[in-house]
Amino acid sequence: MKKEYIRKSMWLRKRNIIDCRYGSDIDSKRNLKGGIKMKNKLFLISILVAVFFAASVVVSAAKPIVIKFSHVVAENTPKGQMANKFKALVDERLAGKVEVQVFPNSQLFGDNKVLEAMLLGDVHLAAPALSKFEKYTTKLMLFDLPFLFASMDAVEKYQKGPAGKSLLDSMKKKGLIGLRFLHNGLKQLSANSPLRVPADADGKKFRIMTSDVLAAQFHALNAIPLKKPFSEVFTLLQTKAIDGQENTWSNIYSKKFFEVQPYITETDHGIVDYLVCTSTEFWMGMPADIRAEVEKALNEAVDFGNGVSAKKAVEDRKKIVDSKRTKILTLTDAERQQWIKVMKPVWKKFEKKIGKENIDAAFASN
């Protein structure tokens, strides 16, 4: 019995010694096995995360790039038809990759707010009148100078030349890129009473776009310029809150200004042109191949729109004549020279802001 007790005691001591001696190694092996299991779990989780991320990228890439195109005129105008043509070309060539959404008649933004919205990413394409860019560059004020261009051919010649093309990049530092100039046409004066000579405009209130040049133009006539949104012009004329306005045949007809203005004087004293523009961030953020196709479609659409503009200037003038709702006054050469003499000093006033070289290059296009 004693021997058996001694034998068991010795066995227990040996076991304790072994456990004490090698216990840390046993725990390490256990920890190692646990660590391997944990690493395997983390590896599996990382694979799942990678797969999920890759799937989300594929889904994101599958979504088309949305281009919101905002403008302020009717769809039957040159600008409206150009925008719809652009959408049709993109739908045809980039289906599933790019989606163009057109918002006419100030449905999304008016011209006074659209550039701010563009810089915020709320709209991607717009074609404001050139007078709307004063906040971003003074060089485009050139196109508001009265009697600078003798015809739309002269305008086209200048804009396609090196001096005109350089103006497209004049706002890059402000985050905007000019893509193409778009025509509407030459401006005429409408009023509640006949305007044959500059003195006839004395004291009358005329709606103008937001433009210091246009304000100076009417101040030169001793008239009162009022900066009002395009969308409000018809009501202002109808209620006689203003006496007159200046616009192209296309805009006068499409917005029915001729129905509330008994006289239109065919002055051709200025132009209404637009600049199709976008934000630098959005434009350069598109994949290069997509951007090239979008630009190609836009160029074709603008060429189409400019063709419509030239055609509608003739057609809409005829429709206004045929309506017999207003009387069109044609100036004699002597009368026209009086308007030029009174308005031309405005050039000098804005020479420093616009650049004399730009004015000279534009005038040389005639």
**Range 56-71 average pLDDT:** 76
Nearest to 292 by CA among 96, 101, 127, 90: 90
| pLDDT at residue 347, as a whole number | 98
User: Where are the domains positioned within the chain?
Assistant: 1-59, 64-363
Q: How far apart, in whole angstroms, are the C-alpha atoms of residue 208 and residue 85?
A: 29
Element (H, E) at 149: none
Residue 316 near residue 252, CB atoms below 8 Å: yes
**Range 196-221 average pLDDT:** 97
| pLDDT at residue 42, as a whole number | 56
Q: Which amino acid is at 139?
A: K
| pLDDT at residue 17, as a whole number | 39
Angle at the Cα of 257 (from 251 to 260), degrees rounded to 5? 175
- Percent pLDDT > 90 in the chain is 77
Angle at the Cα of 165 (from 101 to 121), degrees rounded to 5? 30
Q: Is the pLDDT of residue 24 over 90?
A: no
Q: What digits encode the pLDDT tens for the residues 147-186?
A: 999 999 999 999 999 999 999 999 999 999 999 999 999 9
Q: What digits encode the pLDDT tens for the residues 311-362?
A: 999 999 999 999 999 999 999 999 999 999 999 999 999 999 999 999 999 9
| pLDDT at residue 109, as a whole number | 93
Residue 220 near residue 343, CB atoms below 8 Å: yes
pTM over 0.95: no
Task: Report residue 121 as tokens.
Answer: 């990413």
The partner residues of 180 in beta bridges, in order of sequence, read 276
Residue 128 near residue 277, CB atoms below 8 Å: yes
| pLDDT tier, 142 (very low <50, low <70, confident <90, very high otherwise) | very high
Q: How far apart, in whole angstroms, are the C-alpha atoms of residue 181 and residue 298?
A: 11
Distance of alpha carbon 358 from its chain centroid, rounded? 24
Tokens 């004329």 found at:
237
| pLDDT at residue 56, as a whole number | 47
Q: How far apart, in whole angstroms, are the C-alpha atoms of residue 57 and residue 37?
A: 30
| SS3 state of residue 240 | coil
Distance of alpha carbon 170 from its chain centroid, rounded? 15
Burial of 99 (0-12, 13-18, 19+ CB in 10 A): middle
Q: Is the pLDDT of residue 14 over 60?
A: no
Q: What digits encode the pLDDT tens for the residues 68-117?
A: 999 988 898 889 999 999 999 999 999 999 999 999 989 999 888 999 99
Q: What digits encode the pLDDT tens for the residues 216-251?
A: 999 999 999 999 988 899 999 999 999 999 999 988
Q: How many helices (H) and strands (E) does the chain have?
A: 14, 11
Q: What digits encode the pLDDT tens for the residues 275-325?
A: 999 999 999 999 999 999 999 999 999 999 999 999 999 999 999 999 999
The partner residues of 188 in beta bridges, in order of sequence, read 247
Q: Is the pLDDT of residue 60 over 80?
A: no
Tokens 């395009």 found at:
230
Q: How far apart, in whole angstroms, are the C-alpha atoms of residue 42 and residue 112?
A: 55
Q: Is the pLDDT of residue 57 over 50?
A: no
Residue 238 near residue 360, CB atoms below 8 Å: no
Question: Which of 31 and 96 is assigned the larger pLDDT?
Answer: 96
Q: How far apart, in whole angstroms, are the C-alpha atoms of residue 222 and residue 144?
A: 18
Element (H, E) at 253: helix 249-254
| pLDDT at residue 120, as a whole number | 97
| pLDDT at residue 353, as a whole number | 96
Burial of 113 (0-12, 13-18, 19+ CB in 10 A): middle
Instruction: Work out whether strand 188-191 and strand 205-208 pair parallel, antiparallel, or are unpaired.
Output: unpaired
Q: Is the pLDDT of residue 1 over 60?
A: no
- What's the CATH class of domain 64-363? alpha beta
